[in-house]
């Protein structure tokens, strides 16, 4: 009797929006080493801060929901314990702040003597805490009452682009992401509440000012529910136009990310129509010196979309030099620059999904080349801008890095 052999296991490759799409677009080869090879970056400050601020906002929301602590929150009593908790969670995953840039690791800096006055936002070493405090006290009080579901895992599957029965790994691939969701029911309830207690919700104000958003919701009858997706970014607002053609167009990729999230969410049974997404660029609340250099350049060269109406702030930034103390920017300027509303348009959503498909097709083709024996550096394209290359761990052996590694010495 011939025994049947066990069939090959059926695996659907999974791709995440932030971990794969955004990181692959930064540099294909760096993505290969860091994400697929699970080689953690040696100085993952950007990643640490992104995850830290996300975690702080999520945890702060949960605490607000249970304890309803009134804003403003006290940094030492209410916020610092959350920071410590998130820092520990990240340490377990091997993510540490870069001590020279960001103060933080509780192992190195016991906090019993720290006070809110230590959160001097001009001191680079306390940036992470200063931003966490601003994010909660500026946006938390407007955002938390509108959140309906937090940390929602959204998943979906799509047909594998350029599928080939013989060579492709699977005929489908999965996409996943995590978002917070606001509903119109909560927005309307908050609107009524706002009128009663004279509290103006800033997020509702921004939504009311947005003509595309208003046009979109005018199609709904009263009582129809809709949703808005929220994402936080531990970075400054990206420019709307990029001057360096090699640099990744973050403005565009963030929009694609929101549009893909909206498609994923729409596939879930309990979802309502998704009309928009909001991204919070939280570094804008406390910009670092590097952020200020970029903001200054973008304002001077018309590369950014907001901020020009704040004449005093624009003048302060123009006068500011790198060796000066950070300029005293107004909250209005910071708030306006830290929020971005992206309206969901079906045609653009389709384009974003096709773009995601094409990224997956390129990743899959590089993977298959590698599986067939091609060398890593030949299978994955190494191409990025100078800023990314200079912070890259692989620059010493990458054939295509744009930064000359003349300082590199073998001890």
How does 43-72 read in b/e, with b if 16+ C-beta sit within 10 Å? ebbebbbbbbbbbbbbbbbebbeeeeeeee
Contact between 401 and ligand SF4 by CB under 6 A: the answer reads yes
CB 329 within 8 A of CB 303: no
Q: How far is CA 135 from the centre of its chain?
A: 14
Query: Which residue number, 23 or 183, has a Cβ lying nearer to ligand SF4?
Result: 23
Residues near ligand SF4 (CB under 6 A), total: 14
Classified as helix, coil or strand, 311 is: helix
> How does DSSP classify residue 118?
G
Candidates 136, 292, 352, 398: give the one binding ligand SF4 (CB under 6 A): 398
Segment 171 to 190, residues that bind ligand SF4, using CB under 6 A: none
Q: Residue 366 interacts with ligand SF4 (CB under 6 A)?
A: no
- The CA-based diameter of the chain, rounded to the nearest angstrom, is 87
Which residues have C-beta within 8 Å of that of residue 290, sequence separation ≥ 6?
Answer: none
226 vs 394, beta carbon nearer ligand SF4: 394
Nearest CB to ligand SF4, comparing residues 30 and 201 = 30
Tell me how far, at minimum, the Cβ of 98 lies from ligand SF4, in Å: 18
- The beta strand positions in 136-237, using DSSP E, are 147-159, 172-183, 227-233
Binding mask 58-97 for ligand SF4 (x = CB under 6 A): ----------------------------------------
Instruction: Note whether 330 binds ligand SF4 by CB under 6 A.
Output: no
Cβ distance to ligand SF4 smaller for residue 32 or 134? 32
DSSP label of 284 = G
The interface mask with ligand SF4, positions 10-39, x = CB under 6 A, is: -----------------x-xx---------
Q: How is the chain split among helix, strand and coil, in percent rounded to 5?
A: 50, 10, 40
Residue 400 in contact with ligand SF4, rule: CB under 6 A: yes
- Contact residues: ligand SF4, CB under 6 A: 27, 29-30, 382-384, 388-389, 392, 394-395, 398, 400-401
């Amino acid at each position: 009797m011939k025994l049947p052999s066990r069939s090959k296991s059926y695996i659907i490759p999974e791709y995440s929006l932030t971990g794969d799409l955004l990181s692959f677009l930064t540099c294909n080869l760096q993505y290969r080493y860091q994400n697929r090879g699970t080689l953690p970056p040696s100085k993952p400050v950007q990643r640490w801060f992104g995850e830290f601020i996300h975690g702080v906002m999520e945890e702060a929301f949960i605490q607000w929901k249970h304890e309803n602590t009134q804003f403003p929150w006290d940094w030492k009593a209410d916020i610092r314990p959350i920071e410590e908790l998130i820092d520990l969670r990240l340490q377990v995953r091997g993510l540490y702040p870069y001590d020279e840039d960001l103060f933080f690791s509780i192992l190195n800096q016991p906090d019993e003597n720290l006070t809110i006055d230590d959160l001097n936002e001009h001191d680079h070493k306390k940036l992470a805490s200063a931003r966490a405090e601003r994010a909660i006290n500026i946006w938390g009080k407007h955002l938390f009452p509108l959140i309906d579901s937090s940390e929602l895992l959204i998943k979906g599957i799509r047909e594998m682009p350029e599928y080939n029965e013989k060579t492709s790994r699977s005929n489908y691939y999965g996409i996943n992401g995590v978002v917070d969701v606001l509903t119109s029911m909560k927005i309307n309830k908050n609107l009524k509440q706002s009128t009663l207690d004279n509290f103006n919700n800033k997020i509702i104000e921004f939504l009311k000012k947005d003509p595309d958003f208003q046009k979109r919701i005018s199609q709904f009858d009263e009582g129809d529910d809709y949703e808005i997706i929220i994402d936080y970014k531990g970075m400054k607002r990206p420019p709307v136009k990029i001057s360096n053609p090699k640099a990744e167009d973050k403005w565009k990729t963030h929009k694609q990310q929101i549009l893909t999230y909206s498609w994923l969410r729409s596939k879930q049974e309990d979802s309502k129509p998704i009309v928009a997404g909001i991204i919070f660029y939280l570094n804008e609340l406390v910009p670092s010196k590097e952020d200020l250099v970029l903001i200054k350049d973008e304002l001077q060269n018309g590369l950014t979309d907001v901020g020009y109406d704040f004449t005093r702030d624009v003048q302060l930034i123009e006068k500011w030099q790198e060796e000066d103390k950070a300029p005293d920017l107004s909250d209005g300027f910071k708030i306006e620059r830290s929020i971005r509303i992206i309206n969901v348009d079906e045609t653009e959503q389709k384009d974003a999904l096709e773009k995601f498909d094409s990224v997956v097709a390129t990743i899959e083709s590089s993977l298959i080349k590698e599986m067939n024996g091609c060398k890593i550096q030949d299978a994955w394209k190494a191409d990025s801008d100078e800023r990314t290359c200079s912070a890259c761990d692989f620059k010493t052996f990458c054939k295509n890095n744009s930064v000359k590694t003349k300082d590199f010495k073998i001890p």
